[in-house]
Amino acid sequence: MNFVLDPRLESDSEFICDLNLSQVRLNLNAAFPWIILIPKKSELVELIDLEEADQTLLWHEMMKASHVIKTLFNPKKLNVAALGNMVSQLHIHVIARFAEDKAWPNPVWNSGATRQYEPTEKESILARLKLAFEE
């Protein structure tokens, strides 16, 4: 399989869990509840690069992630996106958005809204996410 996580994705996020196809990671920008799914196959850039069976798996994992984020954070809106302009390795963002967040109603990318997690806060959100993905 030879999956190697892009170094920028690795440094900007922290491991939550492995699903069948994707690794799920917490984006370390605490301004938004924000997770990232990275299919664990090499050489993937676009969604259409995935084989059909993996596309089905990924969709189910994106929907699972959407349900987890909705249940844990009760956002006004989910943002689900595969952009990859900065990091080409295929990755899918699932983000909880709120009318009172620092970027609303604009997208989170390039919004200037950033915050570091407090250590206990990060441990807590990671624990809640891990548990929710096990259910």
Distance CA 41, CA 1 (A): 6
What mask, x for binding a copy of itself by CB under 8 A, covers residues 81 to 120? xxxxxx-x--------x------xxxx-xx----------
Q: Which of 31, 80, 113, 126 touches a copy of itself by CB under 8 A? A: 80
Per-residue tokens: 122: 């990060």
Buried b (16+ CB within 10 A) or exposed e, 64-95: bbeebbeeebebeeebeeeebeeeebbbbbbb
29: contact with a copy of itself by CB under 8 A: no
Nearer to a copy of itself, 81 or 131 (CB): 81
- Token look-up 């984006």 returns 27
Query: Which residues of the chain form contacts with a copy of itself (CB under 8 A)?
Result: 45-48, 55-56, 59, 62-63, 66-67, 70, 77-86, 88, 97, 104-107, 109-110
